[in-house]
Structures are given as C-alpha cells and as structure tokens.
Structure 1
C-alpha cells in the first residue's frame, strides 16, 4: 500500500519521485489509448496526488506555490467527480479551500469557495437551458427550396445566430463578473485600479456555454509589487472557484508526472471522464492565456510570462520581438479583447494603446498579419481538412467548421484596421467600407452563422466542450459516418453551402500577394456546388443535381469548369458502383482536350479503376501501360502534386496516397495493376507490384503518417493473400502479421485487422493447426460483431464466413 501523500516524510524525500510512482500506479487503470478503465479506482490516486501537491506548496517559492495549489485543486476535484459519495474526498477538498484562503492572506477566511462555485453552476445551468431552447428555434434549411426562399431562410439563420451569441456572451460575462466580485470581497479592497479583460471567443462574441475563460488583469500605471501579489492570489482563488465547477479536465493543469511515465508507444493519460466545460485556459506551454500566465520554464524558453501587468507593460507584448520570444501568439490574442469587470477607464486606456501601437508601425504589423494568414491558410485549408475525413474516423468541428471561416474574417478585419472583434461586425464594416458587396457580406455572414451553430449544437448535445464528431474506431473506410454526423448537425444544405463559401474565401486570399487596399467579392458557381458535393460524398445528391443541370447546359461544352463538373459526376457514379455510367463519362472526358494536368491524371485513374471493377482486367492492364508514358510526360507544379496527393488519398478512402508525381504514377501503374494480376491469378506478378507499391508509400513524407502506414498494411495483406494462393503459408502468415501490426499500431480500420485474422486462420487451417486457426477465426468474429448491429449479426456475410470457419475447426478438433 502506498504511503499517505500528506505525510511530511514523503515531502522530505523526493516528492517528484512519489508523484511519478502514483502516475505509474495509475497506468494499471488505463486502456492503451490513455483513458480510464474504471474511474472510481483511479480516483484514489488523484486524491493522493492532490494532497501531495497541497503539502508540497508549503515548501515552494511564491510562483511555484500557486502552481502547486492550482494542480491540487484540479486533482482533488477529479477525485470527487469520480466518487461523489466519498466523504473523505469531499472533506479534503473543503479543507483545501479553507487552507488556500489562509495561505493567500484573504480578508474573509471563512468564505465558502464551494458554495460560490455552486452558485456559478446554477448560472451556467440556466445559460445552457436558454441556449438549448434558442437553438431549437433555428431550423435547418431544406435542400430543395427556391433561391428566394433560401435567401430568406439564410437571413433568418444569421439574425437568430447573432441573437443567440449575444445572449450567451452577456450571460458568460455576468458569471465572470460574479466570480470577480466574490474574489474581490474575499481578498479585501484592491490596492489599485484594475480591469479583468476577456480575450478569445468571448471578445469575438462567439463564446459557447462550455468555453474556457481566457483573460488578463490590467493594472493602473502606479501599481507596485504589493499590487501584483494581491492579484496573483486573486487569480488563484478565481481559478479555484472555476475548478470547483468540476468541468476542468486534468491535462489542462499539465501534471508533469503523466509525461514522465509515458513510453514511446503509449498514449499519455487523457481525462475522458470529466465533462469539459467552463474552465480557465490550460497551463500547457502553448496555452497559458490567463493572468498567472506561463509559470514554468521550458528548455527552449527558460523564462516565465505573467499577464498581470500595468497597461503600458502589457502593450509591450504587441512588439514583434517580444511576441516571438514568448512564442504562443500573445500579440494575436491581445489585439482582440473586451471589458469584463473592474475599471472601465483602465480597459479603454489599453484598447486605445493597442490601436496606437498598430497604427505606429503599420508596415511591420501588416507583415506579421500576412505571415500568420499564410500559416493559417495552410493549417486550416478547408478542403484538405475535408479530404482527410475520408481516412480518419473522427473530425474536429472547431478546426474544420469554425476556424476555417472565422480566422480569415478576423484577418480581413485586422488588415483593414477594423477593431470590432465580432465576425459579424467585421463583415458589416467591410461592407460599409465598400470592401465587399452586399452578396459577399451575406454569404460570409451565413458561413459564420453556420459555423457558430455547428459548434453550439455539438457542445450542447454532448454537454461538454467536445470538439470531435464521428466514431471512436473506424470499422470500414467505405462506411465512414463522419460526413453524415457533420450534416446531421446543421443539415445538408447548410453544410454544402458553408464549404463552398469558405473555399471561395480561402482561394481568394491564397491568390493575393498584397491584401492592403483590398476590394473583393465572391459568388457561388455550379462548379463550387459540385466540388463540395463531391468532397462531402453526397453522391445521390450530385447525380440528382446533374440530371437537372445537364438539361440546361450545351452537351459538348468543354470549359474547364464543365470538365471538372463532369469528372465529379463520373466519380460519383464510380463511388455508387455504377461503373458503366462512370466509364462512359470518363471516356467522354478522355476525348476532350484537357489542359489541366491534375484533371487529366484523375481521369486516367478513374478509367483504370472502372475497368478493374468491370472485370476487364486485360484491358485495364493495357490501358495502364499507355498511362505510364502519359504520366511520365506530365509536368505538374508543386501545388498540382499536392492537390493530387490529397485528392487521390480522399478518392481511395485509405487505399491510395501520393506525395509526388512518381508516387501518383506508381499508384496508377502498380496498385491497380497488382489487383488485376491477382484477379487473373498471376500471383507472383501481383506480389512484385504490391511490394513495389509498398516501397513507394514508405517514402511518402512522414508528415502524412499514420495513413501511409495503414496503406502499406493493406499492401502487405494483399501480398499475404497472394502467398496463400501460391500455397506458401509461412510467407502468407509473415505478411499477415506484418499487416496486422502496422494496422493496429496506427489505429487503422477494424475490418482490415479482421481480414488479417481471417487470413491467419485460413493459413493455419491449411497447415491443419486447428487450435491456432480457431483462435484467429474467433478473434475475427468477436471484432466484427462489435461493429455489426445486433439485428444484422446473423445475416452479415463476413460474420457468417467466420462462424463457418470456426465450426470447421471445431469439427476437426472433435475426436
């Protein structure tokens, strides 16, 4: 049994070693993905760690003491959350709050921090109830409405979303005012004037009922050191009250011990049990947007950063060198703030100072904005994010749907010296200044409304700041439900229009080298619609739209837009297994003079795939030989290669990747060819080509891992199948195990893993090792049944085959 964490003996020895031991003990209660198996059992460890941090704080220096106390509060609350009926845990938390007030030198020592937190909980509960009721009034827009009806419904969505966001922002500020007022009463009269200043989504009027509270504390210029210490403890008490809401996940307080015990192949502990909600910004080095700032030094940045400062001192963070020195976009967040509590004049001095700093060095400011914009255009490229959904089982809706629009509208505001942080307000001002026209203003406002609605609906449904939608584990890349989950949130029409609008906005910004004195407008075209339907895998909808659209268009038009539209439709037919229809359209495209080399490569790929699935294997192989020379002569720009890599990875849903023209060529010429050779029972030729394809994937840019390894796993599986057909069962087993290891290591689709178990079972069956075969077949069946609905388990073909193989093994083992 571990020694009690609160004993002085433990502290006098190495308290860090003791924390590491506790973290090691926690590992036995974690799954391999870093999540808790039984939270009630891990609760006692969190309780002991919380007591140890509390005891250690008595030995710490001024800053470290505060950090230890914050971690203690988070860990003790984590224990109570997991065992709410444990009186010892609750008493420990109550004692901690009482001792904190004594340590802080509070004026009111008997203040009840838990009761204050309960009052805030009730305010949050009311805010969330109101938000839910308001969201229910925002209806999804049907796909099949007239243009006039659609515009009216879009305008209603924009107006409703503005009202909801304003309501949440006001309620959220009132909660933080309440907590600030309580902290002031607890600590006594403040030694100087100050302002609690909000940042992030609160300042943008895009806060949610489950958002973090990012803020700083501004002081008047005459503030002395004694003022700083008052507000440091003010902030610790403020954070403790927020932590007592029990919506702060443990990783946000950055417990070092959890990292120290994590081995290379293991995932670090993640608190999946706590409902993440109203909290403070995390203590991780890249976060720390809170008054106490970055309290721990790192190897690359061996200094601390505090965000309790006088107005002029805080303004120094807007300096380019100081911003880069601190390295977590302090300048960026400080340019967009709002007053929450305290002296309004202090805040106005700061806001005016920000405007003056920006105007005094416009050239430098513009350079930094453009640099950040270019980084964001790469990191939040909407269509590349969409393409990746074809491979992964979950998507981050904040990254995919919220930031892909609001980041760039915010950038446009700053580039045009618009200091109102709200995305809606920025758009209105851009419109008023004739930078964009009325239609563009409407489209951008609608995109923001959709993004806010998506984020709000996902958070409210999960009752948590849970950014991911989709499945925990993907069973089959061809049955990925991410798109469906995304569209269930705001409807098919809004999802399609959102990404069409965002594509146009980002595409425009990407092409402009100089965004000063900018004037621009965007409009949605038929190609925008078909491209988005294609990416969202709305194949039925695309065919339906094509049937209407094609009746209105000249049959032989060959404009670039029309050629692309026809390719999207051809691919929709292909994805719906209508290979003849797809091939007809691809043949039509092949007869056109296609100038776009990206499109030419995709058309070649589509034709080869159609021929394969139509069982025209010899014809496919002959076509591939012709493709080799054509692809060899293609001259692609870097952007074209990047497009093809992402696009083809998306098209093949995990079976295709290419980071260069060579890999693209080898995909078309090797992977499909290998499948044809296998179908023609030319197993040795198929093995050689699968091996070649695997080697090409091995050299794909490491940034594209893990999917490249998942693809290689698929190649090894196919090689194993070939060896099985050749009767070389040892080689087949070797490749199947190699495939299995890679697929499991990189969290590949479960059905790929099941196929490997099936192959291993078949090989052992042929070798008459029935015990081993039975083990693999049973594992395969158990895995498959986890993902097959109970009503379909008897009819599922893969499960039926596995059962048949199990029965065969059992019969062979019966005397």
Structure 2
C-alpha cells in the first residue's frame, strides 16, 4: 500500500486481497510460475474488481494507483483466458468508467483498440531492429586495402552509406567505422585528433592536459566527472581512484590549472553578460545560458575542494557538510541546479530532441523581443528570476576572491537582486508593480546604495514602458543623491537625457548633455565604458538636432557618436555595431532631408550592411529599405524605388499578423509608395509608347 496516504484502508477489503494472494500461491510451482492459468486468471479478475470498487473511495492520489492496479489485473485475466467474455466485458466496462472519471472529451473512445495499435507498432519496431541486427557490418570497418583512406587533397574516399551497422568498432583509425565513439573529427581550429579509448594509465594523463573537445569542453574537466554505465567495474574503479588521487594532489600546477579554467569560465559564462547579449539576439542556447552558468562553477568548487562526486547536488551537500557554505546557500544553489535541469528537460521534451536553442530566427523589433518570454514560459517567472539572481551572486563571490584554496562563503537574495533580474529578464511591467508594493513598505527617502540601484531599475522600466515623466522624476531624484558607483552615475546621465528627448524637450536635453559631458572625464570608468557613455550622449544630442531640423549639426554629431562606439571593447561587438548602424541610418535620413539623395543612398546601404552583418532586427532593415526607396523615388528612378519598397513590404508582412496588417502604419505607407512607383512606371511606359506612334 502507499505510505503516507491520507486514505485509511478498509481492513475487510485488505483482508480479502490478502486472502486472494494466498490462494494464488497454491497455483504456483516451486519457481513461482503459474501451473493453472485458468485458476490464476479468475483470481486476477476478482482482485481487479476489488481495486476498481475501492478507487471510488480513494483520495485523488491513491485513486490513480487503484485504477492502474485494476487495469493491470483485468488485462492479466484476459491475457490468460482470451475467450472469457466476462473478463473482456469487465475490461471494457473499466475503460468506459475510466474515460468518465478522467473527464475525457471522447467518452466512447476505444481504449482497447488503441492499446492494440500501440502493441502492433512496438512489435513492428522490434521486428525491424532484429532485421537490422542480422546484417554484415559496413565495408570500411574491415580495412580492405583497395578502399584505404586517400590522403591527397581533393581525392574521394569511399563512404558506405547503405550497409547496416551490425557492430561498430571504436578507435582512432579512419577505417574503424562510420561513427566511432573514440574519435574526435579534425576541425580548422583544432586540427588534431583525440583518442578517448585507451588503457586507464594513459587516460589519466589527460587530466593534466589542456586539450579541448568541441563546444568549449576541456578533456580534463570532462574526465574529472565520470560514471559507469556498462562494462568492467574494476576498470572503472581503477580510473575513479586515479581521478581522486589527482583531485587530492597538492601540486601547485594542478591548482593553478583549475584556477585558470575557472577564470576563463567566469568570463565566457558570465550570467550578466550572457543575459545582456540577448537584448539584441533572437535565439539563445539554454545549455549555455541556464545550465553552464551554474553547473560549471559548482563543479569547479568541487574540484578545488577535492570532491570527486560528479553530481552537482552531491557537491553542494559536501560543501555544506565541510562548512564551506551554510544551509541557506546550499538550498539556493540546489534550487538553481534543479531549475536548470528542469529548463533543459522541458525544452527537450517539447522539441522531442536534444536541441538547446530556443527563440525565433529573426527579431522584427528589438523592443518586442520574445526570447525572455519563451524562457519564462518554460518554468515560470519566479524560478527564472531566482535562478539568475543566485548564479549572479555565486559568480560575483568567485570573482571577488583571489585565493579559493580556503574559501568559505555564503549568498542570500535581496530585493535589489530581484529588481536587477526582473530588468535583465525584460519584465518591466513586473518591476513597476513590485516597486508599487515595495515603496509602500520602505522609508521613501532612504539613500542606501541598494535603494539607489533599485530606483535605477525602476526608472529604466518606466522609460522602456514609455512612462517618460515617471522615469524622469526618478532620474532627477537620483541626481540629488550621492551615488558612489560611477557606472550608475553615467547611466543616470544617459537616461535622463533620453527621457528629455522622448518628452520633446530637445533644448533642455541639449543643455543637459552639454553640462554633463565634461563630468564624464571625472568618472572612475574604463576607457571602453567612457567611450560608450560619450557615444550615447552624443547620439541623443544628434537626435535632438535632427528633430530641431539642424541637419548638418546632427550629421556631425552622428558621425562623432559612431566614432565613439567604434572604440568600445570587442566584447560588446554586437550592440556597438548595431549602434553604429543606427548612426549611419540617421546620417542618411539627414542627407535625404537636405536633398543630397546620392549621399543618403550611400549611408543607407552602409547602415543596411551593418544590420545584416550584426543580426539587426527586421524592422531596422525595413527602415533602411524604405529610406533607399524614398531616395530613388526622389531621383525618379522608379524601378529601383519599387524594388526597395517591395522588399520592405514583403519583410513586414512576414512578421505582422494578418489581422493587424491593414492598420499597421508602416505597411500602409509601403503599399502607398509601391502604388506611386507603379503609377509612375505606367506613365513612363505610355509616354515612350506615344513617341513610337
């Protein structure tokens, strides 16, 4: 019976079941096999009736178990006596009652027929598998000399694509088999091969090597975490013992190599940077974003503390037992690992394959990015917010400590962590609703650094939700406080200028930018961050000049902003090139308004090229096509204008739902310009025809 059930089993019902079980034993031989199928079938049928009746009294959990047992017992009776009409009718009645209990849409569904169809499918699959196993293995595996590998460039090598693989050999030799487990293929960046099937003593030498596998894995890291699936347990134990000896080694070189790998991972799998990169991307790799950002560092902590278990949960338990982390930290880290596993499992189940990519092929508009929405839909908002808050804190701890050999640390989640992650996950409306609750519970004028950061996230949310007045009030509140963090000071400057621009207060924005630009020099920022801040302030200034129809001033400032963006670090390659593409587009727009259509075409093409090379949104590309079309239209070059307008329209129609296409202003404008081009082309044709009459 089920332990912990809230249902109290009726003693007479249980006694009856026990009585039937004892009776069944009389019909078994000394090996426990049935001697008389007719007698045992009768007992199974009676037990099935009892469980079916009992299910009506069970609670929701035990009801399911009783129904499953009843179905199995009825089926067992029918299997032993296929001709017994009473048994078959009991099974049919059970199926009918089950459909009603489950609230099925199709109450007369034939479950027995469906079960038979599935059974036949399984039989066919087994048949095909057995037939495949009967075939000779592929030809190259036996190393026929005349089929030997050709090493001369450009010459063909025989590839057996038809013979079934009955047996596959593992090894480094190219003729070994079609898909060997032991061979890693050569690539342009990794022109070597690595044999992963060797004697234990040779495999252990990989633990001190820096050789890489695909996708950023190092062989040493992979082999540190091993488990036995099948094979000689003695060999596995021998290898595991060797791994333990390496982990417990006090050799400085081993510790230094682990620290080097940890620092590389902290750069390559930085949670904050990974999330930031998605602002301009349409797809993401869940293994990289929601799995490696946590498991890599749990694994590293395990190796640094000589813990040889391959399970993240077991490593966390050991860290807790060794007082390296407290109970709350152990709980948070375990929770993060559980979320990461759940995300991968759900995505794989939905795709019915181990495909780690989630998202769309292209973004229509960067302000309508569905990437995070897809991620949150997978396991829920709270799980995602808490996951990234936990891993962000963990990574910060590992970055801030130079000597991890005697590391002891603890992490907690604060309101600041929550607001930060809500912003990183683009849950701007949730930030505003959380702020409304939070601000009622806190002192309104507190100036702690945590409070300043929370208000920064809220101000950003207001801005993105087009609540520019609310956002500006928050930036001005921050302006009056002493902000220790210079990066936050710079963001406050940039975003206040942005709000003034969106509120059409262009002159105020220009005056503000002129005042704060000199202050940037005094900020304790990296050169790259200063270039980024200068670039954004200059870009906003240029937008204001454009709105004021000071086109030549705007052009000069867009060019200046582009130069600042070009000097930002390569790690921010994607967004800086998108920012430069926007500069080129607006330069082209200014030139168009000045009537210099040839120069405008040059800038529009430059902008379009940047957007295409750096994953710009569909809307950005459409704006470039529209500008190109308008320039050619002004030059009476209707053929080229029509081509660009048609390209723009086709792209927009792919991403705007059918029901919204007739009301979409940009689609309506594209259609009207296409009509103008077509009418002018018809007039030109009529004109030329008239000359020939």
Q: Does 1:550 align with 2:407?
A: no
Superposed counterparts of 1:609-624, under 5 Å = 609-624=498-513
Q: Give the RMSD, CA atoms, in angstroms.
A: 3.0
Shift of residue 234, structure 1, vs aligned partner: 12
> Compared with structure 1, are the counterparts of its residues 407 and 767 closer, same or farther at alpha carbon in structure 2 (3 Å cutoff)?
same
- Aligned partners of 2:211, 2:546: CA distance in 1, in Å? 61
Change (3 A) 1:432 1:63: farther
- Paired position in structure 1 for 2:546: 678
2:389–2:421 contact (8 Å) kept in structure 1: yes
Equivalent in the alignment of 1:750: 618
| Deviation string, structure 1 residues 74-115 (Cα, Å, up to 9, x no partner) | xx3xxxxxxxxxxxxxxx344xx4xxxxxxxxxxxxxxx3xx
For 1:469, which of 353, 358, 362 is the aligned residue? 358
Distance 1:72 1:705, change over 3 A: farther
Displacement, 1:472?
Answer: 0.5
Residue 635 of structure 1 and its aligned partner are, at CA, apart by: 2.2
TM normalised by structure 2 equals: 0.73
Q: Does residue 567 of structure 2 align to residue 699 of structure 1?
A: yes
Shift of 1:784: 0.7
2:465 aligns with 576
Residue aligning to 2:628: 760
Give how far 1:720 is off. Answer: 0.8
CA contact (8 A) 2:184 2:194 kept: yes
Summarize the alignment of residues 161-310 of structure 1 with structure 2, pairs less than 5 Å apart. Answer: 232=171, 290-291=181-182, 293-294=183-184, 304-310=193-199
Q: Distance in 2 between matches of 1:527 and 1:706?
A: 28
Residue of 539, 546, 560 corresponding to 2:428: 539
Contact conserved, 2:630 with 2:641, CA < 8 A, in 1? yes
Task: Assess if the C-alpha contact under 8 Å between 1:63 and 1:295 holds in 2.
Answer: no
**Unaligned stretches of 5+ in structure 2?**
1-137, 684-693
- Where 1:537 maps in the other structure, the secondary structure is coil
Under a length normalisation based on structure 1, what TM-score does the superposition of the two structures give? Answer: 0.63
Residues 456 and 62 of structure 1: CA distance in aligned 2, closer, same or farther (over 3 Å): same
Aligned to 1:370: 259
Q: How far apart in 1 are the matches of 2:297 and 2:219? A: 18
Distance 2:589 2:520 in 1: 29
Contact 1:54 1:72 (8 Å CA) reproduced: no
| In 1: Cα distance, 2:244 partner to 2:394 partner | 27
Q: Taking structure 1 as reference, are residues 591 and 70 closer, same or farther at Cα in structure 2, changes over 3 Å only?
A: farther
Q: Secondary structure at the match of 1:675?
A: helix
How much does 1:787 deviate? 0.8
Q: Report the Cα offset of residue 315 of structure 1.
A: 1.6
Q: Which aligned pairs between 1:56-205 and structure 2 lie closer than 5 A? A: 58-59=145-146, 72=159, 76=161, 92-94=162-164, 97=165, 113=166
Q: Distance in 1 between matches of 2:444 and 2:452?
A: 11
SS in 2 for 1:342: coil
**C-alpha contact (below 8 Å) 2:532/2:565 kept by paired residues:** yes
Q: By how many angstroms is 1:700 displaced?
A: 3.2
Q: 1:813 aligns with which of 675, 681, 688?
A: 681
Residue 309 of structure 2 corresponds to 420
Name the structure 2 match of 1:632.
521
Aligned residue number for residue 294 of structure 2: 405
How far apart in 1 are the matches of 2:219 and 2:210?
11
Look up the match of 1:284: none
Structure 1 residue 770, shift from structure 2 partner: 2.5
Residues 283 and 371 of structure 2 are in contact (CA less than 8 Å); yes or no, is this contact kept in structure 1? yes
2:280 alignment partner, SS class: coil
Distance 1:476 1:591, change over 3 A: same
Offset, 1:235: 11
**How far apart are 1:806 and its partner, in Å?**
1.5
Cα distance, 1:586–1:299 mapped onto 2, change above 3 Å: closer
Which structure is larger by alpha-carbon Rg, 1 or 2? 2
Does 2:654 correspond to 1:786? yes
Once the 2 structures are TM-superposed, how far is the Cα of residue 60 of structure 1 from its aligned partner? 6.4
CA distance change for structure 1 residues 711 and 70 in 2, over 3 Å: closer, same or farther? Answer: farther
Contact 2:280 2:615 in 1 (8 A): no
> How many angstroms apart in 1 are the aligned matches of 2:420 and 2:557?
33
Contact 2:535 2:565 in 1 (8 A): no
- Offset at residue 746 of structure 1 (A): 3.0
Structure 2 Cα separation of the partners of residues 705 and 408 of structure 1:
26
